[in-house]
Amino acid sequence: MLEMIVINSRFLTQDVSGVQRYAEQMCRALKRLRDDLVFVAPRTIRLHDCASALEAQCIGHSTGHMWEQIDLPLHLKRQGSPLLISVSNTGPMFYGNQIATHHDITYVRYPQSYTRLFRLAYRTITPILLSRARTLITGSNFSRREITSFYGYAEDKVLVVPAAVSDEFTPRPTPVDQPKYLLAVSSPAVHKNFNRMIQAFLSLRGHTDLQLHIVGAASAFFADPDLQHLVCRDPRIRFLGRLSDAELISQYQGATAFVFPSLYEGFGIPPL
């Protein structure tokens, strides 16, 4: 009989950014490899299609870190402490029979991108998690160097599993009458450097027919009120908010070019 393996699928309760997309694609691939894996998540599911495909089981009554640090390890103990694979940035920090995932230390390099509470949670959970986890997964050799250097974690315990592009993101011919646009996809964080991208776009001369499409959370992109005023007055800049996968693929396929001004990335899925 194969050893029971449980997958920490807390990402199913979160909006999709790079971390969640990585986790989703990894889980779908694992599901295709082994149909006996047990995917568990809190009850506040948001990614219903993925949860259904994974046949995810909802356990516990808490959400967020409380679910991950209390409900999940209690459930695992009742199951005989099986191997746990945590596919997002965190996991139950006192559970040793675990393969954890940690993408980068942006919260250390660019703390201004995150709230004080977020930074406190990660700076508390991560070192304890690393001290107990059997193996760590990360997305790039750069992240492996960053994590091992900062936390003193052994490099030979880190497994690099790079992201890959989905088959759905395939090029297609651009219609002749389609407006030309630059595409930027990101979460609203300081290190994503969208302020500078906007300033550069506004300074363009001789490209009045070129638009800038920004995909992601529309609020809190810019702290500079003068820049906000300029953006609001320029009809070429379009904030598209969060898009479905089909809408996002369409945006990628029709873009004249992709813009990625980020100052720090563990991997950087959007340009891939």
Mean pLDDT throughout 61-70?
Answer: 97
Q: Which residues of 185-196 are buried (b: 16+ CB within 10 A; e: fewer)?
A: bbbebbbbbbee
152 shares a domain with 191: no
69 shares a domain with 15: yes
111 shares a domain with 209: no
Q: For 10-61, write each residue's pLDDT tens digit.
A: 999 998 888 999 999 999 999 999 989 999 999 999 999 999 999 999 999 9
Nearest one of 104, 191, 100, 88 to 145, comparing CA atoms: 104
189 shares a domain with 147: no
Phi, then psi, of 41 in degrees rounded to 5: -155, 165
81 shares a domain with 20: yes
98 shares a domain with 197: no
What is the number of structural domains in the chain?
2
Q: For 145-170, write each residue's pLDDT tens digit.
A: 999 999 999 999 999 999 887 777 77
In the structure, what pLDDT confidence band is assigned to residue 222 with cuts at 50, 70 and 90?
Answer: very low
Full-model pTM: 0.86
What is the distance between the alpha carbons of residues 16 and 29, in angstroms, rounded to a whole number?
Answer: 18
Question: What CATH number does residue 75 fall under?
Answer: 3.40.50.2000
**Domain interval for residue 31:** 5-160
238 shares a domain with 150: no
Q: For strands 158-160 and 38-41, give the pairing.
A: unpaired
Mean pLDDT throughout 118-133?
Answer: 96
